[in-house]
Structure formats: structure tokens, C-alpha cells
Amino acid sequence: MRILTSDPLRRVLLGALAALTLAGCSDNAMTGRRQLAFVSDEQLAQMADQPWAELRAQTPVLRDPAARARVVRVMEPIIQATGRTDLAWDVVVFDSPEVNAFVLPNGKVGVFRGLLELVGSDDELAAVLGHEAAHILARHPAERVSHQLATQAGVTLAQLVFGGENGENAEMVAGVLGLGATYGVLLPYSRSHELEADRLGVELMRKAGFEPQAAVRFWERMIARQARQGAPPEALSTHPGDERRLSELRKAVAA
């Protein structure tokens, strides 16, 4: 069906999208920049409850009390450094070889066995946990969700705006804009988030009493591991290139 969209209506739709975007912008004292955030911390915490429950149900927990005690010992001073003692923090170590960890907006902390096998010290573990906690302080989850919502709204608007003269091309326009948004906005923004979390994570390490230089040592180890396994080019990745990441991280440690 061809969508007929008048010029006045187009202006109204464009104005509405612009107003919504402006309304969603706010200052973040932690990052020192303005952010697009349509969702609140409370909403994010609720959104995180279901994936956390699903992960708990689908992934076995490591039956090693000493491993969990180690993660808790490292995580507790980081939690104090974040100032977010309002969250219902909980630490779970999953029995999986994946080298990864995460902190959800609801305060749930997941660490995989593979990471514990890779880190060379508690300070290196603190570097990873500090980085993940920094994502929450910087409100990166809210920003990512908001950018996804704005992108979807923009693609839908494009279908309406261009449907008047080229209704038969609306699907193509949506596809092109969707692809362009993914590789032109969302992935680069994710890379900037990673660098920002590296910097803020180093600050959290300092406040928590850990050695910031351990962050460099850990990422050097991770980069060497990734080099053996192969990694995607930076342009197609959500993470910054290795040399760029190490360079920025060394600056943060030296600051």
C-alpha cells in the first residue's frame, strides 16, 4: 500500500522526532558530556531482571566457593567506589570457559570461569570488574537503548516521509538507513563507550585501592590471546582497535 505523506505532516513528524531527541538529552557528571537517555535507571534495572533470570537458568554456576569469594573480595571495594550502594548487588560465577564478565543495571555481576583462569592477579580482575561497573556509572546501557530506539524511530519516519513519492521504495530506504545507522552510529558509539569505560574503570580501581597498571597488563594479555584466535577489524567491531585501546588506557593510567 502506498503511503501518502504531505509536506506539513512531514514537518510535524520531523519536529516531533527532534523534540523527543532533545527531551531525552541530559548531562552526566561522571562522563562530563550530554547523553541521549530516554529510559531511567529504574526502568533499566527492571529490563535487566529477565535476561539475568534467563542466564541463571541456562548457564551452570561454578561450584567453587573460593572462586566466588575471590570475586566478591575484589568487587566489594569497587562497589563502594561507585557509590551505587542502592543497588541489590549480587555476584555469580558461571561455569563456562568464556573469557568475560558483566555488570547489569540491576547490580547483578556475572563472571565466567574462563576469565578467572586468564587474569594474573586480583588487580587484573579488578580492572575488568571496574570497567564493567563503569558502564553502569556512565549510563551506557541507557544510552545504547535510547540510540536503538531513536534509530528505529528514524527508520520508521523515513518510510513515512519518503513513502509519498516513492512508496514502492520505502522498504529499500528503511533497509539502507538501518544498515547505515548500524555501521555509522551504533558500533562507533559502542567503541567510544568502551574507551570511556576503560578510563572510568581506572578511576574506580584507584578509589578501590587496586593497581591501575594492572589494567594495561590484562589488556595486553587479552590482545595477545585475541591475536592467536583472530578478531574482526575495528570498523566492524563494537570494541576499539587494540593499539588504540592500549594507547588510551596507558594515558588514563598515567593521568
Give per-residue pLDDT as tens, 102-115.
999 899 999 999 99
How far is 78 from 126, CA to CA, in rounded Å?
8
How much is the average pLDDT of 138-161? 66
What is the signed CA dihedral for 149, 155, 159, 165, rounded to 10 degrees? 140
Closest of 72, 120, 78, 75 to residue 205, by C-alpha = 78
Distance spanning both ends of the chain, measured CA to CA: 59
Task: Answer yes or no: are the C-beta atoms of 93 and 117 closer than 8 Å.
Answer: no
pLDDT digits (tens, 9 = 90+) for 171-216: 544 454 455 555 455 555 588 888 999 999 999 999 999 999 999 9
Residue 42 designated active-site: no
Please, which pLDDT band fits residue 36 given cuts at 50, 70 and 90?
Answer: low
**Which of the 8 DSSP states describes residue 237?**
-
Task: Answer yes or no: are the C-beta atoms of 55 and 111 closer than 8 Å.
Answer: no
What is the signed CA dihedral for 237, 243, 247, 253, rounded to 10 degrees? 80
Catalytic residue among 42, 117, 132, 168: 132
Does the structure show a pLDDT above 50 at 3?
Answer: no
**Which of the 8 DSSP states describes residue 61?**
B
pLDDT digits (tens, 9 = 90+) for 70-92: 999 999 999 999 999 889 999 99
> Has this prediction a pTM greater than 0.85?
no
